[in-house]
Amino acid sequence: MKNKKDIVITGMGNITPLGNTVPTAWNNLVNGKNGVGLIESFDVSNFSTRIGAEVKDFTLDIVDKKSCRRMDRFVQFAIKATHEALTDSGVSIDDEDKSRFGVIIGAGIGGLRVIEQQHSQLINGGPSRVSPMLIPMLIPDMAAGQVAIAFGLRGPNFATVSACASGAHAIAVACDLLRNGKMEIAIAGGTESCITPLGLAGFCSMKALSERNNEPQKASRPFDANRDGFVMGEGCGIIVMETLEHALRRNSRIYARLLGYGMSCDAYHITAPDPEGTGPSLCMKYALEDAGIKPEQVNYINAHGTSTPLNDKSETLAIKKVFGDYAYKIPISSNKSMIGHLLGAAGAVEIINTILTMNHGIIPPTINYEVPDPDCDLDYVPNSARVSDNLEIAISNSFGFGGHNICLIVQKYKGE
């Protein structure tokens, strides 16, 4: 797109297994703290995997109790994270044209918890016992809908649903709407809360999860030779996005530019990644083209890095295809080593961490990296954070079941 508008990030909010605010979660991330442990929200004694990365001590105190009861946990996460992001951005909603203020929030699954609860009501009490709020509570678009209701935002409003790429896709779609003049400012990101009996059982049956139950803290180990599956997590990441013109007009503090994005599909398998890394390499290539930069300008990669045998190998191969010999000079890390896999929220939380990495000049580590894998031979910033004064441009990868791939590219903002 010629003469496309510059898009910037001016506010951030999140809910993660490492903390329920951006500063808390970031501090724990760079210090290598682990958010994985035995699942406490329900009895897991009969499950092959009994570990997860749960959000702790979460409360939603900015809406009334009645409204809160009508929201599934994934929606509650989105309301709370949006409040933090808006506060962080300093935007005054009353001073904005609310019809030009959009909300795009992705969710990979939606209200699985309420489906389970209400199915039990149906079986035990009959159809009349099913809540009239079942459908409005379970549908994935309700995070975006409830955020708009809570904050009075009347611009474009919908959900992106592309499994583990959902949050990053929401940010890319918001970018296009801002570039095209359909919005001036937007809430964008992803949210998910599916650590439930049915959700856990489904992933266990797929043999997708780590079964390192006796060592929860070592279960998520991206790129390590002994990785045996991912760890389910939950959480939410929300950013405030604006056209640069709009942000400067209101004299906003700007974290970063969203330079571009790329999207592709593996067209290979419903869950397994393409072993040749073709899809991920395409989305990174397209992102570089959209951003108008050369591969050698990238200073950091926030990897999808799920800790599954196939994904980490495929992503490493894809990075080599795109960056060639330069791939060995790029620091790469996976936040999932500490927060688990947040599914539809992963890409949004990870782009927040990518922006913080640039702005603080500190690269979070990939913890639990103990045994090198010959197929994963890049610089994964193992076990300890790394200080760097050369973090100007970074990319964040997100890949989802179904073969959905997306890469976001951000640049540290230095002013006009």
- CA-nearest of 42, 54, 50, 199 to 112 is 199
164 is a catalytic site residue: yes
| Pair type for strands 256-265 and 404-412 | antiparallel
68, 164, 204, 376: the active-site residue = 164
Determine how many CB atoms are found less than 10 A away from the CB of residue 31. 13
Buried b (16+ CB within 10 A) or exposed e, 189-209: bbbbbbbbbebbeebbeeebb
- CA-nearest of 60, 66, 112 to 83 is 60
Q: Which residues are catalytic?
A: 164
